[in-house]
Each structure stands twice: as C-alpha cells, then as structure tokens.
Amino acid sequence: MKLRTILGLSLCSAALSVAQAAPGKSHPESWVPPGLDDWKDVPAQSWHKRAADKQPIHLGPRPFWLVDNMDEGPLKERLQSCNTRHLKRSDFSIGHRGAPLQFPEHTKESYVAAAQMGAGIVECDVAFTKDRELVCRHAQNDLHTTTNIVAVPELNAKCTQPFVPADLASGTPARAECRTSDITLAEFKSLKGKMDAYNPMATTPEEYLAGTADWRTDLYASRGTLMTHKESIELFKALGVKFTPELKTPVVDMPFEGDYSQQDYARQMIEDYLDAGVRPRDVWPQSFNLDDVLFWVNETPRFGRQAVFLDQSVPTPENTSLANMERLKAQGVNILAPALWKMLTLDSYGEIVPSEYAENARTAGLDLIAWTVERSGPLENGGGWYYQTVTDAINNDGDMLTVIDVLAREVGVIGIFSDWPATTTFYANCMGLGRH
C-alpha cells in the first residue's frame, strides 16, 4: 500500500474519532451507535442485511503500523499492497469480549467498537445472576476486577469476599471476590464496566480499581455499559454481527440453590436465541465443558451443529492424537477451539508451521478456531503465554500477522478471536477470507 493511501485512511479515521469525542457532545441515555436509530422499524429478519449495507468499517492506524513492523518478505509485500478502500465485514474476525484492548470488556461500547472494526462475529461470555438471569461477563467471579462494585458500599457488602485493603507493612495484598450470583440483575445493571485490572496493594476501594496494563488504556473507560445476554443479542442484531456466546463454567456448586442445573443453564442460553428469532446458523455456542457441547449437539441439534468445544487441556500424546480427534468428531463435535499456541510449532529452520495437534484435528474433519491475538501486549520479548510454542520466532509486533497468516493458510482455521478486531479484519480483507 502506498504511503499516501495509508496516511489518508489514518487521518480519516482520526478525524472521525475526534469528531465523535468532541467536548460537549455527550449522549443521552437513549443513545445508540450512529446510524442505528433508523433501523427501529425494520423487521428483525432484515437487520443483518440492513446492517451490513449501512455500517462502515474503520480499521484505524494499527493494522498498517503492524505491517510496517513486519520482517521483509512476500507476506509483508502482499499486505502492503492490499486495497482497503472497500472493506467488508468478515466472520474470520471474531471480537473477543468485544474490543478489550482499549474498551472495557463485555460492555456495549466494546461490542460497538468490535463491529465498527469489521468483526463478523462477537462474543458474549455468559454467566448468571442471583435471580438466574443471564449476563455478559468473562467469569462468574470477576466483577471485582471488571466493574466498580467494590466502590459501591451496598453491593460490595454482598460480595463473596468484600474488599479488604492491603496491609502495606506486612506486604499482604488486597482481597476481593465478587460474583454475578452474589447480586440480582437490577443490581448488576447498576454497575459500570471498567478495564479488567486491579491494584493488589490498594488500601482503598478506589485504588483497587486501578492497575490497567500500560499497553492498554483507560481512555475509553469513562463509559462502560453492562449488558444482559438478551440485550447483547438485540445489539448484535442491530450491528449486523453474528453471535458466539460462551457458557462460562460456574464457580458456585451446581445445581445452584439445589434446583438450577448445568443443563438448565445451558438450555436457557440457547432459549434466548430461539426467543429472539435468531437463525441457528448465525450462532456458535461455546464451552470449555465438553458435556455442555454434547448437550447442545443432542438436545438442540440445529445449534449444536456449530457448537464450539474450547480446549484448554495440557497437550499429551493422548489428547493430541488422531484417535482423540476422531472420537470428538464421532460424538458430534464439529468445531474445536484451542489457544493458538497449541496449533503451532517451529520446524527445523525455525519457521512457524502447523503442530501435530492441528494436523490431526483437520484430518479428523474438525474445523478450528484460534484464540486470542492482540492480548499479549508488545511482542518483542517472545509474546508470552499465547505464543509459547513459537517464542523463538517472535521478536516484533509485526510477527502477529505472520502467526495469523500461518493459522489461516496452513492450519486452515475458520476464525480467530482478537482483542482488537481491526487486525484480523484487515488480514481477512487482504486475503478474501470469511466474508460475512
């Protein structure tokens, strides 16, 4: 891509951002993302097409910055030559909790940002409240790090572990644990989302809310609107994106309060899509619990067809074997989603290539989804946990695009979760992948 084109795109994106953030332009409570208010009378079944036609895609400068940072070679040349004037939404680009690299995760603002960056599919992690309503949170017990609950005295008091300040003299860190099941839906909705972080040596609730990683930002944390699962469905419809809800494993004993079973919970999540008239082919329900996935496969087969088994197991000869992959396929699992490092290894030349795990999964007929890019901060020191099998090949931020390329072209993944979907949207458009 010529420098003039890159600068033009970046300046247009920056001008739009500044205009939307201008002082005195506060939004009323009924605010919806620009362009959505005129869809209110459009039949629900037409929202996807209407949204895809109306919603412009904005990449911002980051994908181009990553390309500039790449090692010289054919992939860099191809990405530099991409025509990004007519960007399309892509199902290859999956918004992981929205766009939490810079927006508070699982908030309306984070979801809207993911859609604006061209994510074709967006994730609501699903947990339940004390009154058994489904809400979007990454874990049942993360309210103390993702919301302002510890600074709300009447709700902090209801936490499993209310905030306890750090003892600086002894070096004892602060403590808190607040669960969605500690509070009602109404109480949950009164909270404000924040960047997922905390200050372990805090002596006040307000200090505890700090701690955002220096490679993230609090710039967009002034407004973090929490959402129910049902609200996320309606928002995603309006944004023209598809759905990948993850049923989070409860930290409370199940059945909850003796009569709300794991199957009740799994069934309730799917029922929300049935009630909203969502097509099963637009939903990829996920779980780390294989029993949940098999429940959907057998009880709600139209949704079970695209159920995603999230694999977090430690690799062993048994669970990476072709026999194990064929066993999953025989049980009705069609999509497997491990952390990206499990699908990659280095060859004898130090090049990133598909792992035995990935090759066996594809041989067994399983589709693959990778998680998660844009979640590791600067990659100059090897990339950390998500890149652990290819650390020796990772020494700059542009290497992320090399990893994405190997996952897409050699492993053959059908999608990649990203904390900043502009990056995966850019790659997908350059390569013609996963059109919406």
Nearest-angstrom CA–CA distance, 150 and 194: 12
The model's pLDDT over 363-407, given as tens digits with 9 standing for 90+, comes to 999 999 999 999 999 999 999 999 999 999 999 999 999 999 999
In a domain, 323, yes or no: yes
Lowest mean pLDDT of 85-89, 399-403, 406-410, name the range. Answer: 85-89
In terms of domains, do 316 and 384 share one?
yes
| The pLDDT of residue 107 is above 90 | yes
pLDDT of residue 54: 61
Domain housing 185: 141-208
Q: What is the CATH number of the domain that holds 305?
A: 3.20.20.190
Spatial separation of the C-alpha atoms in residues 258 and 69, rounded to whole Å: 55
> CA 150, 152, 155, 156: dihedral to nearest 10 degrees?
30
Would the CA dihedral through 137, 200, 420, 13 be positive or negative?
Answer: positive
When pLDDT is averaged across residues 279-305 and rounded to a whole number, the result is 99
Domain match, 339 and 373 both: yes
Phi (first) and psi of residue 2, to 5 degrees? -70, 150
- Which pair of tokens denotes residue 207? 């200090």
253 is a domain residue: yes
Give the pLDDT confidence of 207-227 residue by residue, as tens digits.
999 999 999 999 999 999 999
In a domain, 171, yes or no: yes
Residue-wise pLDDT for 329-344, tens only, equals 999 999 999 999 999 9
Q: Is residue 11 part of a domain?
A: no
Domain match, 191 and 276 both: no
Report the greatest alpha carbon distance in the chain.
64
Q: Each residue of 58-71: pLDDT tens digit?
A: 999 999 999 999 99
Do residue 244 and residue 378 come from a single domain? yes
Residue 280 domain-assigned (yes or no):
yes
Same domain, 262 and 391: yes
Angle CA 28–33–36, to nearest 5: 110
Same domain? For 170 and 265 the reply is no
- Measured distance CA(402)–CA(410) in Å, rounded: 11
- What pTM does this model have? 0.88
Q: Are residues 151 and 111 in the same domain?
A: no
pLDDT of residue 409 exceeding 80:
yes
DSSP 270-308: HHHHHHTT--GGGB--EES-HHHHHHHHHHSHHHHTT-E
Same domain for 149 and 78?
no
Domain count along the chain: 2
